[in-house]
Chain A
Amino acid sequence: MYDGGKIIPGLIIGLCLFLSPFLYNAGKAAKAPEPELTAKAKKAKQCVAPTPYMKAWHMQLLDTWRHEVVRDGNRYYNTNENLWWDYKFDYKLLEDWRRFVSGTMEENQPPGRAGKIYYKSLQTTCLDCHANKSKFCDQCHNYMGVTPYCWDCHIEPKENK
């Protein structure tokens, strides 16, 4: 190989640099995230939407809320709203929706799903129940290496560490 004396060591050094994060952490395993619920959260039993939904989609929910609150002035969320992207096309569900929109909330409640109204706010609603941000939100966020920039503006609750 022409100039092989320079290329091969160069490649090896490059490969080592590229793999250095893995080499540094070889043999160690990061602790799995263990988010803790506050007493208030445990008492509420369910978030603004079912837990599996919140685990997967809370960021999309917050994005939608952000758009609706700031740009549409729509500050109140009903738990029966808008979870369409999660549910597979369920004919019975659509029947439920049809009955729901054709009447008032109380009369045509789809059975087993009571509607509760929440004020859409990260600071005052979400973090009212999940006030232990460092033991709840940050657990998974730090593990995944994400730093949502919401906290540049939205105020984290003061925690007693």
Chain B
Amino acid sequence: MAVDRRKFLKLVGCSALFGLGAKTAIDIFAPGELEASMKESLPNGKKKWAMVIDMDKCLQKQAEGKCTACITACNHEHNIPDFGNIKEEIKWIWQDTYEHVFPTQPNRFLDEDIEGKPFLVLCNHCENPPCCRVCPTKSTWQREDGIVMIDPHRCIGCRFCMAACPFGSRSFNWGDPRKAPKELNPDYPTNMDYPRRNKGVVEKCTFCEERLAQGKLPACVEACAEIKVHALHFGDLNDPDSEIRQLLRERYAIRRKAELGTEPKVYYLI
């Protein structure tokens, strides 16, 4: 095919436009089939996802009897197996007592409503995450919308991120999750729409980014709302009118190990 100068320049111009414009065009000019909220949760939107846990409401519910609705919902949604021993356990969200969740604020004379009570623990999706700094393959990184992601296709299982996390949020698949005891996992896999992981990769809470992409709230937040406790709030820190910003304005919140400078984005209202 003979290409004269005019055609060549048109070709180059189109290629440049295609390279610069096509992806953006498809992202921005998304046609009507898509839900409007999906646009808002794209990583190049200027959101900063964060979670606010209202411990007052949570502890009120705990006082009535042990409640693990959020934990069960998360484990169900993400095919998290129960190995029955602390050596191999995988947990994305779990509970521990106040003294263990906030070990840097020891107090012998604690408020009785809090002393020894179960607090929720999950990945804090830090703004300045040490886990992402140390990963040698960039299989964990921080997205623009604030979520710390894991790419289980690339993870080599060196567990440097697990050592680096000051909060102990990450779990490792020491063995094949399919080999977890059947008595403890009768319905495994519990969610046919979400993949498992294989042995040798690290995993943790991802703020349900696959649900956010479809305009839904994280599974734990939804579960808490379904049982009408509404202790978990999720939203955008960059939006001054969002629910979580209002909560943070009105009530005192603490974060885990804030003095380390990792800027965790899970706030506890106490």
Contact = CB atoms under 8 A, between A and B. Distances in A.
Interface string B185-198: 00001001111111
A89 B27 CA distance: 25
B189 A78 contact: no
Nearest to A88: B1
Contact of B29 (A72, A104, A149, A157): A104
Given A66-B153, A105-B31, A98 B196 contact: no
Contact of B43 (A73, A89, A101, A154): A73
Given A74-B27, A94-B11, A106-B31, A152 B43 contact: no
Chain B: interface residue count, which band? Answer: 35 or more
Contact of A124 (B30, B143, B193): B193
A99 B34 CA distance: 22
Interface residues of A, number: 34
Given A94-B11, A152-B198, A70 B31 contact: no
Interface stretch (B14-22, B64-72, B123-131, B158-166): B14-22
B22 A81 contact: yes
A49 B143 CA distance: 30
B34 A117 contact: yes
Contacts of A121: 193
B86 to A, nearest CB: 24
A155 interface: yes
A100 B210 CA distance: 29
B238 to A, nearest CB: 17
A33 interface: no
A115 B11 contact: no
Given A97-B14, A152-B198, A70 B42 contact: no
Interface in B220-238: none
A42 interface: no
Contacts of B189: 155
Given A71-B151, A76-B38, A157 B192 contact: yes
A102 to B, nearest CB: 8
A11 B145 CA distance: 64
Interface of A: 66, 70-76, 78, 81-82, 89, 91, 94, 97-98, 100-102, 104-106, 115, 117, 119, 121, 123-124, 149, 152-155, 157
Interface of B: 1, 7, 10-11, 14, 17-18, 21-23, 25-27, 29-31, 33-34, 38, 42-43, 79, 141, 143, 145, 149, 151-153, 189, 192-198, 209-210, 213-214
